[in-house]
C-alpha cells in the first residue's frame, strides 16, 4: 500500500556507508511486510538493495546467507550432498504464508527481523545453529545466535540503527539428520506449530519448537529421548502460559499439537 507518511528515500550504493539513523527510519529490503501494513510512524526508507550483498556464500565452514537473500534465491540453492539437512530449506520456504511471488521479493533477513512466531526462516536458521551478524552505522559488528536474536513477536535484539547483515549456518549443523513437522488451521495457512528435530552423528538430538511459542525454543538431548522424557522436557521448557495465542491457533491446541508433532519427529529420527 502507499505509505503516505514517507517523505524521503535513501538508496544506498554498493560502496556507501550506512547513514546515521533517525527516528522514523526503516531499512527497506524486500518491502513485502513494510508495504503490507500502515506504517504511521515512518518518514524515511533506507533502501539496502543497492548494497548488492552476495545472496549466499558456501564454504567448508558452512553456508552464509545475506540478510537480503530472497526466499526464491534460497530455494534455488544447490547444497553439497553431505549436507543432508538440505531438504529443510525447501520445506521451510514452502512454510512461508506468502506465495512464490512473495518469494521473489521477501528476504531471509526480513523474515528474521519481522520475528513473527511463524517465521519459517527463523525456524530454519534456529534449528541449524544459525548465527546472525549485525552491523551498526559507524559501529563494530556483533554476532548473536538466531535463538537470541528473536525475542518475541515483532521484537528482536536489534538496537535502533542496527541492521542484520547475514546469517551463518555451520557445516556441522547442515550435516545432521533432520525431521520437519508443521500444522496450521488451513492446509496452506500460517503455521500454528512448526517443529524441526536434528540428530547429529554423536547421537545428540535437538528439537526446535517454533510458531506455537512466541519465540523459538530449543531443547537439547545428548541422545534421542524416550517419549516420556521428550514430553517432560517440552513441559519443562515451555511453561503453561508460554504458548502463543493469536488467530492462527489457540494456545491449548498449539501445546497439544506440539506434543504430537514432537513425538512424530522423535520416532522418525529414532528409526
Partner 1 sequence: MRLTVNGQAQEAAARPGQCLRTLLRELGWFGVKKGCDAGDCGACTVHLDGEPVHSCLLPAFRAQGRAVTTIEGLAGPCPPGGGPPTHVHPMQDAFLNAQGFQCGFCTPGMIMTAAVLDQGQRRDLGTALKGNLCRCTGYRAIRDAVAGAGDAEAPQTCHAPVGRDVRAPASLGVVSGTAPYTLDVAMPGVLHLKVLRSPHAHARIAAIDRAAALAVPGVVAVYTHADVPQRRFSTGRHENPADDAPDTLILDSIVRFVGQRVAAVLAESEAAAEAGVAALVVTYDVRPALLDPDAALRPDAPLVHDPADRASPPPGADAPPLSAHPNLAAEAHGAIGDVEAGFAQAHLVHEAEYVSQRVQHAHLETHGALGWRDAEGRLVVRSSTQVPFLTRDALCALFDLDRAGVRVLCGRVGGGFGGKQEMLTEDLVALAVLRTGRPVRWELTRQEQFTATTTRHPMRVRVKMGAKADGTLTAIQLTVLSDTGAYANHAGGVLHHGCNECIAAYTCPNKRVDGVSVYTNTLPAGAFRGYGLSQTIFAVESALDELARGLGFDPFAMRRRNAVRPGDPMVATSLEPHDVQYGSYGLDQCLDLAQAALAEDSGAPPPGPDWRVGEGMAMAMIDTIPPRGHFAHAHLRLDAEGYALAIGTAEFGNGTSTVHTQIAAQALSTTPDRIRLIQADTDAVAHDTGAYGSTGTVVAGQANFRAATALAQALTQAAAKRMEVDPEACRLSGDVVETPAGPVPLSTLAPLEARAEADGSPRSVAFNVQAFRVAVHPRTGEVRILASIQAVDAGVVINPMQCRGQVEGGVAQALGAALYEDYRFDGAGGVVTQTFRNYHIPACADVPDTRVLFADTYDRVGPLGAKSMSESPYNPVAPALANAIRDATGARLTATPFAPDRIYRQVMAAVAERERSAT
| Radius of gyration for the alpha carbons in the chain, expressed in angstroms and rounded | 19
Beta bridge mates, 220: 206
Burial of 177 (C-beta count, 10 Å sphere; 0-12/13-18/19+): middle
Residues that bind partner 1 (CB under 8 A): 1-9, 11, 28, 31-32, 35-38, 40, 42, 45, 47, 49, 94, 97-102, 104-105, 183, 185-190, 192, 246-250, 252-254, 256-257, 260
CA gap 249, 182 in Å, rounded:
13
CB of 12 to partner 1, least distance (A): 13
Q: Which is nearer to partner 1, 46 or 126 (CB)?
A: 46
* Cα angle for residues 257, 261, 198 (degrees, 5° grid): 145
18: Cα separation from own chain's centroid: 24
Hey, what long-range contacts does 217-225 have (CB within 8 A, 24 or more apart)? 218/126, 218/127, 218/147, 224/199, 224/266, 224/269, 224/270, 225/266
Query: How many CA atoms, within 13 angstroms, populate the side-chain half-sphere of residue 84?
Result: 9
Sorted by sequence, the CB contacts under 8 Å of residue 119 that are 6+ apart come out as 111, 112, 150, 210
Q: Which is nearer to partner 1, 148 or 246 (CB)?
A: 246
H or E stretch at 93? helix 87-94
Q: Which is nearer to partner 1, 148 or 263 (CB)?
A: 263
CB of 125 to partner 1, least distance (A): 22
Angle between helices 251-270 and 227-237 (to 10 degrees): 140
**Grid cell locating 244:** 502463543
CB of 27 to partner 1, least distance (A): 13
Amino acid at each position: 500500500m502507499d505509505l503516505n507518511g514517507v517523505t524521503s528515500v535513501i538508496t544506498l550504493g554498493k560502496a556507501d556507508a550506512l547513514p546515521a539513523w533517525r527516528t522514523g527510519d526503516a531499512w527497506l529490503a524486500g518491502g513485502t511486510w513494510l508495504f503490507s501494513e500502515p506504517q504511521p510512524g515512518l518518514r524515511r526508507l533506507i533502501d539496502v538493495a543497492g548494497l548488492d550483498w552476495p545472496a549466499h556464500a558456501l564454504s567448508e565452514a558452512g553456508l552464509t546467507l545475506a540478510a537480503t537473500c530472497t526466499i526464491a534465491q534460497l530455494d534455488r540453492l544447490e547444497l553439497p550432498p553431505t549436507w543432508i539437512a538440505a531438504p529443510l530449506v525447501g520445506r521451510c520456504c514452502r512454510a512461508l504464508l506468502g506465495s512464490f511471488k512473495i518469494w521473489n521479493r521477501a528476504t531471509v533477513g526480513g523474515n528474521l527481523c519481522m520475528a513473527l512466531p511463524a517465521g519459517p526462516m527463523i525456524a530454519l536458521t534456529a534449528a541449524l545453529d544459525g548465527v546472525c551478524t549485525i552491523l551498526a552505522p559507524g559501529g563494530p559488528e556483533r554476532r548473536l545466535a538466531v535463538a537470541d536474536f528473536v525475542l518475541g513477536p515483532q521484537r528482536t535484539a536489534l538496537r535502533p540503527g542496527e541492521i542484520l547483515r547475514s546469517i551463518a549456518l555451520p557445516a556441522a549443523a547442515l550435516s545432521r539428520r533432520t525431521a520437519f513437522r508443521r500444522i496450521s488451521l488451513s492446509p496452506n495457512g500460517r503455521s500454528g506449530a512448526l517443529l524441526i528435530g536434528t540428530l547429529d552423528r554423536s547421537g545428540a538430538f535437538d528439537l526446535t519448537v517454533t510458531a506455537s511459542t512466541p519465540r523459538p525454543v530449543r531443547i537439547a538431548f545428548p541422545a534421542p529421548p524416550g517419549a516420556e522424557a521428550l514430553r517432560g522436557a517440552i513441559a519443562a521448557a515451555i511453561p503453561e502460559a508460554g504458548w502463543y495465542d493469536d488467530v492462527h491457533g489457540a494456545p491449548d491446541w498449539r501445546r497439544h499439537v506440539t506434543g504430537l508433532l514432537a513425538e512424530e519427529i522423535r520416532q522418525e529420527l529414532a528409526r
